Structure 1
């Protein structure tokens, strides 16, 4: 019997905007099906530990970060008895520095994927402060995808365009053989609470796009005939949501 797909949260450190009292966890996700290992997002670049201000540049005046070597994506994967060479695909929800910096630790040993719109937006001369040039230059090696995608070709894992937080943000929907499907919001909403109440992030690329994406995901949940377990990119506690919430 085919075993259900599992999702584990990878602890990649934490972050907060200066002036805020609350820290937000920085998370990646390990998806394990009966056939493949997939990582969604990669946390921080290793240079952020040894040269925080040099790596962040002007961002160091905007955010505070707490991260150790154990929070880096390769160490987090090892906690699940895997090496980076065991990862079949890496999906980037978007290219903000706290989600794709750890890409260098995969050393080109796996297929790494991002939405083309996200890659193009990140190269725009007027991109938002959350992008880091070192990360974006490395992302030239990623496979660029356009729109929604059946990732494995078997209807099990879907990449869903959810623009708004960034120009080419994407979320991940997993059609599970277990009692509930799984939705990785990533940064479509920072927390499940924010998602349930259809709130928007602090500094969205376009607020109206973000809200439209959130509403579309709500519609998808409402159209399911079973509950959906929802994970958010900066929220350590997933929640089961059904059409009756």
Structure 2
């Protein structure tokens, strides 16, 4: 995502070394996917008894129910993933228009509570390990533009639900290996609610950064429990 010059000054002036998403994905990603895979392997043959916990929203994915919960936070991507893991979940991918619209709706609720108009939510979308660093894989067809990204929850596979903002992903300043969704009451600086952009995995809320680029929450996902 291209940002205004003031954001570049913020990045250059920071004394904290940027922390990229590791080539094998974060440990918390792997642990969460293992837990979800275990739940999948013990799946009951009676799908009709599946239900999501209170405050989680269910979405049908094939014969199974996927549960999503949106949390308010100013954390970076890896912290958000760790918070999802604490709930037995992982940062969720987006498998349908309905899921995208739900994230937008929940995002607006967060934004309004904070007295803002725009912001972003972390989702389970990141650059493929084989495409990091991008400079070493630029000429690989599988690493060009959106081809270089994958849903990290281990279950979402649909490429067409990656609703990128025009010009994204652009790997601005070469550190954008993660992704968030724009949410809010209005479109701002060309950012439309529901669209995705790549971002540095270490991005957090910063008083000198644009609200339209500031994380204000994240979305967790997991399979429904069998009743």
Q: TM-score, normalised by structure 2?
A: 0.30
- The structure in which a higher percent of residues are strand is 1
Q: TM-score, normalised by structure 1?
A: 0.29
